[in-house]
Amino acid sequence: MSLLTTRGLSKSFEGLQAVNDVDFDLPQGEVRALIGPNGAGKTTLVGMICGRIPPTSGSVSFDGCDITTLPAHKRIGLGMAYTFQITSIFAGLDVAENVALAARRRMSGDAVEEAVMAALTRVGLSDRINQEAGDLSYGHQRLLEIAMGLVQAPRLLILDEPTQGLAEAEIAAFKTLIRELSDNTTILLIEHNMSVVMETADRVSVLSFGEMLAEGTPAEIHANADVQAAYLGTG
């Protein structure tokens, strides 16, 4: 069964068609990578999925319910978590309090502290709980934002360019983390790093000029001539 479905999803900005008539199905329990050239419409598509951008036309369904007009905070309540392409941490608060703010959407009391520590341990930041978030490196800020998503125990975790700014060792740890999370969380991963895509995704969707160009396994996408011409630069 599809956890997330879009039908005919489109968005135009002052005459510019950013996303055009996208049908998209994400089954529960899958890790799906969304790739495409810069300007392909990936962030706009995800913005409509998570409720931050209203579509011009089309529909979004989550777990069988139409959520097209539902505001973003109510989608979070249904079990969606979304990390931004540009970090959205609270720079003046310490690492633990950033995650606690996210945790309090779903729990209270001692459960918050336990969940915060578990989330920070999973992303490798448990030794930085008292550090001011704004003092973290950019890569660590990305990991903090992932922890803020994880602590909500989402049914769908949407990660927008999560490995941007990460060192090679951190990227390797991120791949391991995604494989671990996929046991109980559906993941939509917007990513440019092709080794991350090829090693973590069950299936890959390719967006080009706002339209869905191809979908398939990582191996199928890598061998697809249209994708090579549009994105991989080998066609």
Supply 162's token pair: 């999560």
Distance CA 189, CA 202 (A): 11
Q: Does the pLDDT of residue 38 top 90, yes or no?
A: no
| pLDDT, mean over the chain | 92
**pLDDT band at residue 118 using 50, 70 and 90 as cut-offs:** very high
Supply 85's token pair: 């392409």
pTM: 0.90
Domain ranges of the chain: 2-79+154-232, 86-150
Distance CA 159, CA 192 (A): 12
Asked if residues 2 and 157 have their Cβ atoms less than 8 Å apart, the reply is: no
Q: Does the pLDDT of residue 232 top 80, yes or no?
A: no
**pLDDT band at residue 15 using 50, 70 and 90 as cut-offs:** confident
> DSSP labels for 143-203?
HHHHHHHHTT--SEEEEESTTTT--HHHHHHHHHHHHHHTTT-EEEEE-S-HHHHHHH-SE
C-alpha dihedral, 101 to 46 to 200 to 133, nearest 10°: -30
Supply 35's token pair: 């790739």
Fold of 2-79+154-232: Rossmann fold (3.40.50)
Strand partners, 82: 158
Q: Residue 86's pLDDT is what?
A: 52
Beta-strand pair 31-35/186-190: parallel
Phi, psi of 171 (to 5 degrees): -65, -40
What's the one-letter identity of residue 202?
D
Return the closest-CA partner of residue 152 out of 220, 233, 77, 62.
77
What's the one-letter identity of residue 213?
L
Q: Residue 235's pLDDT is what?
A: 41
Distance CA 18, CA 61 (A): 20
**pLDDT band at residue 51 using 50, 70 and 90 as cut-offs:** very high
Q: Residue 164's pLDDT is what?
A: 87
End-to-end Cα, the chain, rounded Å? 35
Q: Residue 84's pLDDT is what?
A: 63
What are the residues whose beta carbons fall under 8 Å from the beta carbon of 233, sequence distance 6 or more?
none
The percent of residues above 70 in pLDDT, for the chain, comes to 96
